[in-house]
Structure 1
Amino acid sequence: MADPANAANAVPVVDGAVSTQAADEQPGHKVFTGNLAYTTTDEGLKAFFSPVADDVISAQVIFRGTRSAGYGFAAFKSAEAAQKAVELLNKKELDGRTLIVEVAKPTEEKQKEKKEKRAPKKRSSKKSKADDGTNGTADATTESKDTAAKSETTGDAKPKKKRNTRKAKKAKGEAKEGEAADTATTGGAAAPAAPAEPKPKKVKTPKAKPAKPVRPIGEAPEGEPSKTMLFVANLGFTVDDDALSELFTSAGIQVTSARVVRRRWGQPRRSKGYGFVDVGSEEEQKKALELLQGKEVGGREIAVKIAVNTQEHEAADGQAPAHNVPSLVAAAS
């Protein structure tokens, strides 16, 4: 005679997935066990039911292919034993998970619940249909009388007005304006309203920006020479802020900030070939002029000059001004 536990573990495979038919065909009263860990085995599930081991016939974890479905079933000898297992082991932990233990429902009951869920719900009619035409007429007459009496005494049974949509309200308002205008012109006699003409769309014209004044070549810029800022020109297009700062620090000059000016368009924004370096003091400024003027960087001889604080803002270059100071240009040498 075959062992029931071994028979329960021999689960048939259908299209690569383990069928749950074996769990449905197990003898005895079944208990559903949900929220199982994927590592839980049949032996582990059977050991979980050790408090009622004398009444356990078999325990089985349901698989989908080679992976656990996360639930299983245990068969018991009697309904009392199954109920006892539910009371003792529901909400207990196994393999780090709190399990759901409840009496399994018969297959017929589960199929019936599925059909009820899938079946569309029918809307209940407000008025019941009469068995014949005479009764139906009499019921309708009685109901109308009761409704009329109720409306006279309480006023609750008044028919609700349909809400107008926005389009209907707009059309109604335009029609009233047309009727009022026609009444005024015809001396009280209402004339058919003419269709309203569409309003012309307003076209926004862009405001003309004032032209930026161009300083002639060789003319000194107007402004006060900076005591800490230097203008560096003829930079290679590959030189960025860090490389510009490294150029000065490698010469032993202290750098407070260094920035390469870039174009407003393009991605990435391309360098314009010049930038500004703040060395923090007038002494460092003189030292940088002596050490770096005409130095070759990347095959180019750079030009270092004292920057001038002008009234123009660096926003014209598409960049926010550094340290909220006026824009800087090179002083004429």
Structure 2
Amino acid sequence: MSEQATKQVIEDRIYLGNVDYKATEEEVREFFKDLKVTEVDIPSKTFKLGKKTVDRHLGFAFVQFETKDDADKAIEKFNGEEFKGRNIYTKKAVPPPTEEEKQIKTEAYKAKKAEKKKKLAEKKAATNATKKKTEEKTTPEKESKDATEKVPEGTPSKDTIFITNLDYKVDVQTLSNLFKELKPKWIHVPTVRYPKRFQRGRAGGKPTHNKGIAFAKFSSEEAQKQAIAQFNGKDINGREIIIDIAINTK
């Protein structure tokens, strides 16, 4: 139900909507020059734009006529007509709201806003609960799968060790010096090639770096175990290496 249907209108005063923001009182009076206008009210509001204070119209106006007949003619003749590039609309004005009406409207707005906020919170809680339930259902399966994938299949080697957490600059010579007393039969440090765009300017012109892992084979199981006992946790270039028995996957 419209405001005019629930509140008594002012018979000789009209509301003018969709008014150009730069419209002046004189221009509104000129627009209704064939009718007897006694007052034009164009509400405005002060805005802060950076350091400037700007006073701008709100896009509507009130026009007071001398008689009810002139107000009726204004609505009939000018509703939908173009004024300063905009099609205005007209209707009978209503008295401004009382303080009590303003309070009721404000409270209704706050209640509506609170209800909307409550519904959003409930929706979010329901979504989180569903997500948590799904994670609880799928996580054990995923962890089981990950654990299976992380355990290599095969038999423990009796002469080879697997080294991880290597600094990327460590090479075969570095590890040969480390295990010198145990006389390893061979040492393998897997490498990866840098993309071409990263090769320029590399020290020594080397286009590769290690993958952070290595293998070392010894002449006996005793030497293998001694390498693990003596060097596991050894700091090389600021990183503590991890040494374990290698797994024969073949």
TM-score of Structure 1 vs Structure 2, range by shorter chain: 0.3 to 0.5
TM, length-normalised to structure 1: 0.27
Higher relative contact order (CA 8 A, sep 6+): 2
TM, length-normalised to structure 2: 0.35
Bigger proportion of residues as strand = 2
